[in-house]
Structure 1
């Protein structure tokens, strides 16, 4: 173990919940959470291995922090907590601290100012060459910063002597925070009526966001509000769950594209196998990346029977969904993303029912209240998730994410002098910000009733006419067509591609069909990047509009728009009970002739400037599933 990792763990602490914790250093790698579902004998040596990220809280209306991007050399668990891999991945440190498994949690309130200085200490980008490696990016170490979901100014402050940035992510190809010491000062002024809930920050430099977030570059933002001042909320222990799925080269991965073990350096590592590797792909499930929580694989959480806690779920994965379920317990959800509700949505144990838990697409968040039941051992799971429709649907496998040990409250009280635990779930209706007033038909009509349609569709590039192109493999996989897998045919296709590839190298020009794509239900791309400002939606400040997002693919893409939350009103043209969010999974199973859709209304209030909307499956965003939004003064 390196000195860096030991230093990191010395400053981390473990929550003591109802039982004393065994003495000694506990590292956030290699801990094997109990997978048995029968009751365990709990002693005063029971360990809580859940690691809470460092919390930095605003004081007197200001939180000022420096985030430094550099490599973290450590070990991470694979699918089994006992299976550890040495890695060197991009990560955030803060102020004078070394990089860690997640960025610090930034705690602010409506009306506060959040200042983040971003320092890029990553090494220089690979040199640009005329015939560059098509499996790699040109600028994997150039970055910027996005505060995912926050309703804040997205531009550059023009009235400052030294440049200061809001939630600005539309850097041109020559911009961004470049490696080896470049800096940028971000300043976010939160409106006083900002919604209270969980948000998060991550890089959003077009073309490199996926490879950076698929390392360890993310951290939570908690916005406090009236709901946090409820006595029952304030007394309850609060846990932040950053669900991570770091990708890196190792001997278990079929193709690492020449990347050394423990590194994530080429886009092909996450684009050619976007769901990842490591979890079972048998029984119709596709292989998937194992999930960590704050750097720990399958941590243990200790609660007292009858205790109430509030959990903040943040899915920082770059592609995969989560379907969260706690054995024999109920999740009482009170925020969708960071946007609150006056009433709870109940999610009981659904293993024996419809299998639908708290569904989090990439970028989604949720706040839930959990009340511990009888003493025993329970599992926090992600249940299987179908992410495509068609004859051969892609299903992400289930996974055990954490173990929850519930101890008898009376016995636990005899073992500890800890403060009393919360035992009451706050009563509804819950307080909400006035920013979340429903957008009525009358308000929409009075604002002009403008409607827009946005199409999400994986389309081909200049070699689209060739049936053997890489996009053809993608299209076949997600339209449910039967793949031809004859050994004879595949051998012919492979040999033909090799001949074309050799000829392509001789003449110095690409030839259609020069890449052999084996039958596989996940996409393989031609790496041509579309600029983030190819299409611009121009909007007048103060407008209220209705947008319909059409999905023309069998895959359930994930739509995210910066700055403003969405008031979802219809799915596939059918009215639903409206709700607020900023990231939404599009219905799967669409085609160009019969697309699926989500319809929402949106207020373009408070801020002018340029920002983006894109697929939160960041591989797709980097490849061009992104558009610019520009709000101009009225």
Structure 2
């Protein structure tokens, strides 16, 4: 086949200008929305909106929660700078593309109904490749944008619009309005500019977003110490200080050192009999995280930002790239336990066991933790709070069924002579692949024709997963990112509510997205 021809840049959003927006950082005051924990209660008195990274138990060797920025009086305001920062990793010194020079970026804590205004400044160095952009190949690694992963918000204008491109030296003002009935739970933000997203996320660019709500007021959840745990594996180019070679991240089994909140194999402390609430995020670029924590009791209470009907005991934590989990962890006997990813095969590729963290359970009456640090001991019992937009999608609501085929093709001249496809075609920003109507519901069957799994993420509207490999689920699950098994199928249902406009659906193995496994969904009012 002939080499691919350059495709002109057609994805710039309307009204975007190359000049820097002269917007000063606002000073936030007033009573902030507060999550659980003694730190949050103290904030209520001081009206603080920025919490430094710290151990929730006050121990110097304990895993720190990332720095947090909180909304105040229904408004979240932040200047967020993406820049190339020199970072001393446990395994290398590197220049990484990061938000605020932090791994991970600061946690955003907001509430339903909040108005979010974020000015993203791109202070990265200029793109060095002078050649024209070829669509569905890696390109322009210093051009970026911002995605609010899992949020049920508008995809248009300066909201969660992933078609925007923000070049080095430019800034863009995002305004995102959360609905009053937005589900409480864990979400995250990260770059989403097609062609550079995998390299930027592999560099460590991303952070957690927490939407507060009724789930946090469940007595057993409110009583528990809260941990924010962001799992990342910043990739370093062994031949250079900065990550500018896509070959470095391309191989699934390329050496990756997993960090938790930027720490390598950290210690996590608990007390015997204690229950903690762990908010977990797989913010890696392509590896799955099936994890075990033997010797402790684990109960899931939410997934992908969507609360469960009740707490569900489990013996495995499973996070595909982009997935989040709310997990209640109960410590039993004092001792040392390991959070580990066992050896497994991701499709055809075997991956080795990885030690993620060490969990140290101290005696319940330990003098190492101040007596005023709260200690929850009970697990949630009975039904958890329900959200109105997460009611079951019935057969009667379905107006249309579709089949979406996941594939890969050899195309000479493309990166590694490879393109990934949905319904036989790679991404084209000008093509509407699915056209649906606001207020309707559809059922989609995702058919994977490749020998490896694909975590498929749909923007804007949560999806209810009803079948895997044709087998109905006993408890249909609300998610925004679902792992479609190798050579398998997933059936999901989705309501298109509140927001019209164009958004995307794609694989969250991000090199697959950059190489074409993404298409457009257009919702018409």
- Scaled by the length of structure 1, what TM-score is found? 0.71
1:338 is aligned to 305
1:264 is aligned to 243
Task: State the distance in 1 between where 2:389 and 2:507 align.
Answer: 25
Task: State the distance in 1 between where 2:154 and 2:136 align.
Answer: 35
1:74 is aligned to 87
* Superposition pairs of residues 87-486 of structure 1, within 5 angstroms: 87-93=94-100, 99-129=101-131, 137-156=138-157, 165-171=158-164, 176-180=165-169, 182-250=170-238, 259-260=239-240, 262-271=241-250, 273-277=251-255, 289-348=256-315, 357-388=316-347, 393-412=348-367, 416-444=370-398, 449-462=399-412
Residue 372 of structure 1 deviates from its aligned partner by 1.1
Contact 2:136 2:426 in 1 (8 A): no
**Per the alignment, in what secondary structure is the counterpart of residue 409 of structure 1?**
coil
Residue 138 of structure 1 deviates from its aligned partner by 3.4
1:85 is aligned to 92
Residue 166 of structure 1 deviates from its aligned partner by 0.8
Report Cα offsets for 1:311-346 as digits up to 9, x if no partner. Answer: 011001111000121121121001121111111221
Residue 471 of structure 1 deviates from its aligned partner by 5.2
Contact 1:455 1:549 in 2 (8 A): yes
**Per the alignment, in what secondary structure is the counterpart of residue 512 of structure 2?**
helix
Task: State the distance in 2 between where 1:113 and 1:133 align.
Answer: 37
Residue 12 of structure 1 deviates from its aligned partner by 4.9
Residue 234 of structure 1 deviates from its aligned partner by 1.8
**Between structures 1 and 2, the one with greater helix share:** 1
Identify the range of structure 1 (561-570 vs 378-387) with the bigger mean alpha-carbon deviation: 378-387
Report Cα offsets for 1:500-542 as digits up to 9, x if no partner. Answer: xxxxxxxxxxxxxxxxxxxxxxxxxxxx985344452111111
Report Cα offsets for 1:252-284 as digits up to 9, x if no partner. Answer: xxxxxxx51x3211222212x13321xxxxxxx
Closer, same or farther: CA 534–621 of 1 in aligned 2, 3 Å: farther
1:612 maps onto 2:484 in alignment: no
- Residue 482 (structure 2) aligned to one of 568, 584, 587: 584
Report Cα offsets for 1:14-39 as digits up to 9, x if no partner. Answer: 3262xx746xxxxxxxxxxxxxxxxx
Residue 290 of structure 1 deviates from its aligned partner by 1.8
Report Cα offsets for 1:373-399 as digits up to 9, x if no partner. Answer: 1111111111223221xxxx3222221
2:465 is aligned to 568
Contact 1:321 1:385 in 2 (8 A): no
**Per the alignment, in what secondary structure is the counterpart of residue 362 of structure 1?**
coil
Q: How many residues align?
A: 470
Contact 1:561 1:583 in 2 (8 A): yes
Contact 2:235 2:248 in 1 (8 A): yes
Residue 420 of structure 1 deviates from its aligned partner by 3.2
**Per the alignment, in what secondary structure is the counterpart of residue 412 of structure 1?**
coil
Closer, same or farther: CA 129–463 of 1 in aligned 2, 3 Å: closer
Identify the range of structure 1 (318-327 vs 532-541) with the bigger mean alpha-carbon deviation: 532-541
Contact 1:308 1:422 in 2 (8 A): yes
Task: State the distance in 1 between where 2:359 and 2:337 align.
Answer: 5
**Per the alignment, in what secondary structure is the counterpart of residue 410 of structure 2?**
coil
Residue 134 of structure 1 deviates from its aligned partner by 12
Report Cα offsets for 1:66-97 as digits up to 9, x if no partner. Answer: 110001212112xxxxxx3111100001xxxx
Residue 136 of structure 1 deviates from its aligned partner by 8.3
Residue 543 of structure 1 deviates from its aligned partner by 1.1
Contact 2:53 2:68 in 1 (8 A): no
Task: State the distance in 2 between where 1:463 and 1:150 align.
Answer: 37
Q: CA RMSD in A?
A: 2.4
Contact 1:170 1:612 in 2 (8 A): no
Closer, same or farther: CA 587–376 of 1 in aligned 2, 3 Å: same
Task: State the distance in 2 between where 1:616 and 1:63 align.
Answer: 27
Contact 1:307 1:372 in 2 (8 A): yes
Contact 2:458 2:481 in 1 (8 A): yes
Closer, same or farther: CA 563–55 of 1 in aligned 2, 3 Å: same
Contact 1:136 1:266 in 2 (8 A): no
Contact 2:224 2:375 in 1 (8 A): yes
Residue 423 of structure 1 deviates from its aligned partner by 1.2
1:541 maps onto 2:438 in alignment: yes
Contact 2:68 2:107 in 1 (8 A): yes
Task: State the distance in 2 between where 1:150 and 1:320 align.
Answer: 23
Report Cα offsets for 1:157-180 as digits up to 9, x if no partner. Answer: xxxxxxxx0100123xxxx11102
Task: State the distance in 2 between where 1:135 and 1:360 align.
Answer: 26
Task: State the distance in 2 between where 1:145 and 1:129 align.
Answer: 25
Moved over 6 A (4+): 132-136
1:282 is aligned to none
Report Cα offsets for 1:275-321 as digits up to 9, x if no partner. Answer: 321xxxxxxxxxxx121011111110111111111001100111100
**Per the alignment, in what secondary structure is the counterpart of residue 153 of structure 2?**
coil
Contact 1:547 1:601 in 2 (8 A): yes
**Between structures 1 and 2, the one with greater strand share:** 2
Task: State the distance in 1 between where 2:177 and 2:53 align.
Answer: 31
